[in-house]
A and B are shown apart, each in its own frame.
Chain A
Amino acid sequence: MTLKHPRALILSLLLFFPGIGFALNISLAQIDASRLLVTQNVRVYVSVTNDQGMPVQGLEKDAFKIAESSDGVSFQEIPQISVFIPNAGAVSGMTFLLLIDDSGSMYDTLDGRATTDPSLMRITHAKDAVRTLLAGMTNPADRVGLAYFNTSYHLLSRPTTDRRGIDRLLDGIQRPAPDQAYTELYASLALAAQEFAGIQGRKAIIVLSDGENYPYVQHAGKTHPVFGNRIFTYTESVTANQEEGNTIYAVNFGTGSVPDKNLKDIALQTGGKIFDARNRDELAGVYDTIHQQVAGEYLLTYRATLIPAEKKYVRASITAPDGEVSVTRFYFASTVFGLPLSRLTLLLVIPFVLAILLLWGLSLLRLERKDEPARLEVLQTQVGHAVTRVVPLTTAKTVIGGSTKADLTIVGAPQVKEQHATILFDQKTKSYTVVGTGDILVNNQPVKTRTLESGDVIDVGGAVIVFDDEKKGGK
């Protein structure tokens, strides 16, 4: 282990002497699977922070372990981290959601006493703090959204680059009615995790709260209009945000003597940090602290497994003095055809063979027509229609016309005479001749009479009839 910084030395000492208590937090700031298809590599940005929420630097590759899983339960260890780069985090712009506690207790003083003076209320300090945060966001590419919560969770604005608009929306947060004044902190943090849908890059929730989760069901004794009888735990809000890769930073308005442990843990476990609302310098430095954390991230590149999964879970872990800490997120690993069958069956051979046999059967379809007796076939009619489409020429004389007594009757065509044309069979020459009483065309040439060859096309008043005598003339 090569050491470049004194802090790393301290850390490595701590790692080798587990007796010294030292809690580490690990978070997966980003999973970049965009090169998976081409290189089979996945890149993960891992943030490691200490119990103060400050980035831990100087860690070596061997300290990290990566595993993948299809179900988040059974993991397959990745044998090797191929590329390891410390201090790799860099952001062009971050996305923040400011989440303001608007419960009843936020209208007390910072010390937790009831007051009627708005300037002493926690909510007023919280709004001031938000304005300080907004002023500190120097990168124009940063996006900020705004939400508040009490008994319910309310989104005021999805993340946007319009920070002035966010500022204006702050005044819309008003003191809630008694029934609305409960504190669904954990539920709201879980819901807020979804506000970053589709957003890439670093994402953070900055929650300003006195940290006291005070669920409606438990304390009002009534069913919650949205959550029903469900009571959210703080681990649910941690998991929901870990899965989306959101870091939670908390600005604590709780009384200094009784800090809310869970609010701090929520922040630390998602890779964030808790700040004290009364410390103005610290508040002003929130933005810088966040950027410092991002810059201290480790970039780990590894070769992904091909375990079939719609979403593949990545677990990054690090050995800390007080045991192993790990974090799990997933990336989208669905394939076009989806997941394989749980087991293969020989029955699959059946459709495969059946399809090939049926194709072969289709190719055997009768390709040549058999010899058929001479006949007339109506191809199309301009006006009216033929009563029968095919008429065999079995007699010495076959009449085509509009009459129902004709052998081939064309109805609904006024220009077709009762007996418009006749086909005569000559026993001696074994040939057929067409004789027109009305105007007829053979092969689009006007004729009165004509000895027919197979394939000749006779036009009788717009009805197109083909003469078919393959045995003789047609070859």
Chain B
Amino acid sequence: MTTLARRLILLAIGLLSGLCAWPAAELILFLQAGFPSYLIFSVFLGAVTGGLMGAFFGAAEGITSRVKSRIPTGLVLGALVGLVGGGLGLLAGQAVLWLIGTLVMQSYASFQRVVLPLSHAIGWAVLGVFVGAGEGVRAGSLKKIGIGILGGMAGGLLGGFVLEYGRLLLPRAGISRLFGFAVLGLAIGGFYGLIERGMSFGIFRILTGGLKGKEFLLNQRRMRLGRSPRNEIALPSYEDLADRQAQVRIRKGEVVLVNLEPRLPILVNEQKIDERRLRLGDVIRIGSARIFYKYE
């Protein structure tokens, strides 16, 4: 899978996550008056929407890395992280919304025009930050947390504004809320795809076997490579390599490949290596897999 295809799939998954979370949110909103308190209402609403969106983003990695076995675990873990993040996020968003709404600009005249859209957008952004960060928490990657936070913040702000101004244009609030969710999901998915690339130290393109054409972004300080689906660079359908065969480290901006299983050789440009600083254009051979190291 090329980077472009990966980006498009992430966008699609983001859109779908919003599409899925929206009806759930509508149902809970409809039952608002029956909740015992705003605290429970906010946490529950955030947990359900965050959990659904988290499940979609959690499944994304399994889908784009074409390792099917990672989809269910990613989905469940993503849902759990999203549940917690969404619950906390909506609570925090609600707190921020009320802080702005009551303390900063409680003015009757500009209530509809300024207070509502601004405070809503910020409330959404806080929720987005938590939901976006969730995928990074799940993957255990600080960089991904940062990317997710940016995506969630941008998407939340935009989604919140779309919601508020959409409601002024289209009086049917439900539909504009759907757009709000879609924008939030799209932005988080888009940021996962876009910024990740800008922050990467190059790409491993697989040249052989079942994952032929798949490109792995080198975007974490340490990434493991091997047969096990748990690795960041998982090559499960390949032979003559260990479950955890190698580690890719970023050291002072340079990419270093380390062989963790010396009994199974790794070749870089046909030379056996234990540890090697990679240069763009290097050809790596690990078991039956061939990998081309490139930048773009």
Partners in one complex: yes
Where the two chains meet, the residues of A that have a C-beta atom closer than 8 Å to any C-beta of B are 33-34, 36-38, 40, 193-194, 197-198, 200, 240, 243-244, 304-308, 310-311, 331-332, 334-341, 344, 348-349, 351-352, 354-356, 358-359, 362-363, 365, 367-369, 379-380, 443-445, 454-457, 459, 464, 466, 468, 470, 474-475
Q: Are B59 and A359 in contact (CB under 8 A)?
A: yes
| Chain A residues with CB below 8 A from B32, complex form | 306, 308, 335, 340
Find the residue from A33, A197, A359, A368 having the highest chain B CB count within 10 A: A359
Can you spell out 24 A-B residue pairs with CB atoms less than 8 angstroms apart? A33-B98, A34-B103, A194-B107, A197-B105, A198-B103, A308-B29, A308-B32, A310-B111, A334-B98, A336-B124, A338-B120, A338-B163, A338-B177, A356-B20, A359-B16, A363-B71, A365-B63, A367-B68, A443-B283, A444-B283, A445-B270, A455-B285, A466-B292, A468-B208
* CB proximity of B188 to chain A, nearest CB, Å: 15
Q: A334-B116, A336-B123, A351-B178 are in contact. Are A457 and B95 (CB under 8 A)?
A: no
| Chain B residues with CB below 8 A from A464, complex form | 281, 292
Nearest-CB residue, chain B, relative to A356: B20
Find the residue from B45, B68, B208, B213 having the highest chain A CB count within 10 A: B208
* CB proximity of B271 to chain A, nearest CB, Å: 9
Q: Are B45 and A306 in contact (CB under 8 A)?
A: no
| Chain B residues with CB below 8 A from A367, complex form | 66, 68, 210
Annotate B22-44 by CB proximity to A: 1 below 8 A, 0 otherwise.
Answer: 11111101101111111101100
Nearest-CB residue, chain A, relative to B240: A475
- Which 3 pairs across A and B sit closest by C-beta, in order of nearness? A455-B290, A197-B107, A355-B20
* CB proximity of A286 to chain B, nearest CB, Å: 26
Could you say which of B86-94, B131-139, B219-227, B251-259 contacts chain A? Answer: B86-94
**A393 vs B210: C-alpha distance when bound (angstroms):** 21
* CB proximity of B15 to chain A, nearest CB, Å: 8
Other-chain residue from A200, A306, A338, A362 in contact with B33 (beta carbon distance below 8 A): A306
Q: Are A355 and B16 in contact (CB under 8 A)?
A: yes
**Residue B261 interfacial (CB < 8 Å):** no
Other-chain residue from B23, B27, B167 in contact with A338 (beta carbon distance below 8 A): B167
Q: Are B97 and A334 in contact (CB under 8 A)?
A: yes
Q: Are A444 and B281 in contact (CB under 8 A)?
A: yes
Q: Are B269 and A445 in contact (CB under 8 A)?
A: yes
**Residue B245 interfacial (CB < 8 Å):** no
Other-chain residue from B26, B39, B163, B239 in contact with A341 (beta carbon distance below 8 A): B26
Q: Are A33 and B102 in contact (CB under 8 A)?
A: yes
Where the two chains meet, the residues of B that have a C-beta atom closer than 8 Å to any C-beta of A are 9, 12-13, 16-17, 19-20, 22-27, 29-30, 32-39, 41-42, 45, 56, 59, 62-63, 66, 68, 71, 90-91, 93-95, 97-98, 101-111, 115-116, 119-120, 123-124, 127, 163-164, 167, 173-174, 177-178, 180, 205, 207-210, 212-213, 237, 239, 269-270, 281-283, 285, 288-290, 292, 294
SS class of chain B's interface: helix, strand, loop or mixed?
helix
Q: A334-B97, A365-B63, A379-B292 are in contact. Are A457 and B106 (CB under 8 A)?
A: no
Q: Can you name 9 extra interface pairs (CB under 8 A) apart from A348-B23, A445-B270?
A: A198-B103, A306-B32, A306-B37, A306-B41, A338-B163, A340-B30, A341-B29, A362-B12, A363-B62
* CB proximity of B203 to chain A, nearest CB, Å: 11
**A224 vs B22: C-alpha distance when bound (angstroms):** 49
Nearest-CB residue, chain A, relative to B213: A369
Nearest-CB residue, chain B, relative to A343: B30
Q: Are B91 and A37 in contact (CB under 8 A)?
A: yes
| Chain B residues with CB below 8 A from A240, complex form | 108
Q: Are A40 and B294 in contact (CB under 8 A)?
A: no
**A311 vs B9: C-alpha distance when bound (angstroms):** 41
Other-chain residue from B68, B71, B101, B177 in contact with A334 (beta carbon distance below 8 A): B101
**A331 vs B101: C-alpha distance when bound (angstroms):** 9
Q: Are B22 and A36 in contact (CB under 8 A)?
A: no
Q: Are A198 and B105 in contact (CB under 8 A)?
A: yes
Nearest-CB residue, chain A, relative to B45: A337
**A365 vs B63: C-alpha distance when bound (angstroms):** 8
Q: Are B30 and A344 in contact (CB under 8 A)?
A: yes
Other-chain residue from A34, A197, A380 in contact with B102 (beta carbon distance below 8 A): A34
Nearest-CB residue, chain B, relative to A31: B102
**A468 vs B288: C-alpha distance when bound (angstroms):** 13
Q: Are A379 and B294 in contact (CB under 8 A)?
A: yes
**A244 vs B17: C-alpha distance when bound (angstroms):** 41
**A38 vs B42: C-alpha distance when bound (angstroms):** 11
**A82 vs B90: C-alpha distance when bound (angstroms):** 28
Nearest-CB residue, chain A, relative to B125: A336
* CB proximity of B164 to chain A, nearest CB, Å: 8
Q: Are A339 and B59 in contact (CB under 8 A)?
A: no
Q: Are B108 and A244 in contact (CB under 8 A)?
A: yes
Q: Are B208 and A336 in contact (CB under 8 A)?
A: no
**A459 vs B24: C-alpha distance when bound (angstroms):** 55
**A354 vs B239: C-alpha distance when bound (angstroms):** 38
Other-chain residue from B12, B33, B66, B109 in contact with A305 (beta carbon distance below 8 A): B33
Other-chain residue from A244, A339, A351 in contact with B23 (beta carbon distance below 8 A): A351
Q: Are A444 and B282 in contact (CB under 8 A)?
A: yes
* CB proximity of A358 to chain B, nearest CB, Å: 5
Q: Are A336 and B94 in contact (CB under 8 A)?
A: yes
| Chain A residues with CB below 8 A from B207, complex form | 454-455, 457, 466, 468
Q: Are B97 and A340 in contact (CB under 8 A)?
A: no
| Chain A residues with CB below 8 A from B26, complex form | 340-341, 344, 348
Q: A311-B111, A351-B19, A468-B207 are in contact. Are A457 and B39 (CB under 8 A)?
A: no
* CB proximity of A309 to chain B, nearest CB, Å: 10
Q: Are B97 and A336 in contact (CB under 8 A)?
A: yes
Q: Are A344 and B63 in contact (CB under 8 A)?
A: no
